[in-house]
């Protein structure tokens, strides 16, 4: 890792979007050996958060590609995985809020896209609604009868203590400054409410093994991924915004994307990744991170 201190002018022309650690650390950001088209990823020396050197302009244009009517609906191939993951997520939520059926439990999914997780939440008995800033995705969620506010969370102006559960899946890695959103979540959660955060793990074995080739780092493929948490940095952010980490897990290792290798090589790397997945989970080194936070009193 280079110890070059990153200053305002990044490796590319234009104003850098992220100039300090999004978690709020006072420490320096230094360049890592993970080099992306936007420049090397930078690491916070305090919490290990990885951040992009993307410019404001490039970030804005990458976010525009995000809005499609289909949104993040699972495909036929991924539906079973989606259902299994949702069952596990909502099972844990029910344990944490001590509700067996989910009946009468108000859940808000922030960044609900076209409503895949909302539909699962309703299947699991929750009284679920969503917030989605992307117009087409929000519209397609509404068109199938889901209750969705089109806009940003702060614009929805929910009354304080409105929800028992808030889910924030694949959202936080898009935010140059996640604290205002988390503080708003804190405000709208009931006392002892639960916040579920799903994001990539920047301290995973996948990052260690494939570095810049990890698909999750690619702004072009994942509009606006700019800030990569790890269990430590997410824990620090949670605490700063009034939450306690109840539990969490990481899972999965990836050694190659399908387009990067021939069919046979890809199969071999996929099997190797599956072998690594179990110890990765055990040591908190998987690249998918799911964390359950509890709202603390003010």
Query: In the complex, which residues of this chain contact Zn ion (CB under 5 A)?
Result: 21, 23, 25, 44, 46-47, 49
Minimal distance, residue 252 CB to Zn ion, in Å: 24
Minimal distance, residue 47 CB to Zn ion, in Å: 3
Q: Which is nearer to Zn ion, 41 or 44 (CB)?
A: 44
Q: Which is nearer to Zn ion, 6 or 209 (CB)?
A: 6
Q: Which is nearer to Zn ion, 28 or 139 (CB)?
A: 28
Minimal distance, residue 175 CB to Zn ion, in Å: 14
Put the strands of the sheet holding 29-36 in their side by side order.
29-36, 39-44, 50-51, 227-228
Q: Which is nearer to Zn ion, 46 or 268 (CB)?
A: 46
Q: Which is nearer to Zn ion, 45 or 63 (CB)?
A: 45
> Which residue has 């055990």 as its token pair?
282
Q: Which is nearer to Zn ion, 126 or 228 (CB)?
A: 228
Minimal distance, residue 227 CB to Zn ion, in Å: 10
| Three-state secondary structure string covering 231-248 | HHHHHHHHHHCCEEEEEE
Q: Tell me how far apart the alpha carbons of residues 145 and 148 are, in angstroms, rounded to a whole number.
A: 9
Q: Tell me how far apart the alpha carbons of residues 167 and 145 are, in angstroms, rounded to a whole number.
A: 20
Minimal distance, residue 54 CB to Zn ion, in Å: 18
Q: Which is nearer to Zn ion, 52 or 167 (CB)?
A: 52
Minimal distance, residue 274 CB to Zn ion, in Å: 32
Q: Which is nearer to Zn ion, 46 or 63 (CB)?
A: 46
Minimal distance, residue 24 CB to Zn ion, in Å: 7
Minimal distance, residue 45 CB to Zn ion, in Å: 8
Both structure tokens of 285: 């080194």
Contact assessment for residue 148 and residue 129, using Cβ atoms and an 8 Å cutoff: yes
Q: Tell me how far apart the alpha carbons of residues 157 and 250 are, in angstroms, rounded to a whole number.
A: 33
Contact assessment for residue 24 and residue 196, using Cβ atoms and an 8 Å cutoff: no
Secondary structure element (H or E) that encloses residue 50, with its range:
strand 50-51
Cα 143 from chain centroid (whole Å): 26
Q: Tell me how far apart the alpha carbons of residues 38 and 50 are, in angstroms, rounded to a whole number.
A: 13
CB neighbour list of residue 109: distance below 8 Å, 6 or more residues apart? 117, 118, 121, 128, 129, 130, 131, 166, 167, 169
């Amino acid at each position: 890792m280079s110890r070059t201190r990153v200053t305002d002018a990044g490796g590319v022309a234009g104003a850098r979007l992220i100039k300090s650690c999004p978690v709020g650390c006072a420490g320096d950001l230094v360049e890592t050996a993970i080099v992306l088209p936007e420049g090397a990823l930078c690491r916070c020396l305090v919490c290990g958060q990885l951040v992009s050197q993307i410019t404001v302009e490039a970030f804005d244009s990458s976010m525009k590609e995000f809005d499609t009517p289909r949104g993040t609906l699972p495909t036929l191939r991924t539906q079973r995985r989606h259902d299994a993951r949702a069952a596990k997520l909502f099972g844990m939520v029910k344990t944490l809020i001590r509700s067996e059926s989910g009946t009468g439990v108000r859940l808000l999914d922030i960044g609900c896209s076209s409503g895949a997780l909302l539909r699962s939440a309703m299947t699991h008995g929750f009284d679920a609604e969503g917030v989605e800033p992307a117009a087409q995705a929000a519209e397609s969620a509404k068109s199938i009868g889901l209750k969705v506010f089109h806009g940003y969370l702060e614009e929805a102006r929910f009354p304080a203590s409105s929800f028992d559960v808030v889910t924030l899946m694949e959202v936080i890695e898009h935010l140059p400054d996640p604290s205002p959103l988390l503080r708003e979540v804190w405000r709208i959660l009931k006392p002892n409410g639960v916040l579920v955060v799903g994001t990539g793990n920047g301290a995973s074995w996948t990052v260690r093994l494939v570095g810049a080739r990890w698909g999750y780092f690619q702004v072009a493929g994942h509009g606006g991924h700019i800030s990569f948490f790890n269990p430590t940095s997410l824990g620090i952010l949670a605490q700063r915004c009034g939450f306690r980490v109840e539990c969490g897990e990481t899972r999965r290792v990836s050694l190659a994307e399908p387009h990067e290798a021939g069919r046979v090589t890809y199969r071999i790397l996929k099997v190797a990744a599956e072998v690594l997945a179990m110890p990765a989970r055990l040591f908190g080194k998987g690249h998918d991170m799911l964390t359950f936070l509890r709202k603390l009193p003010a």
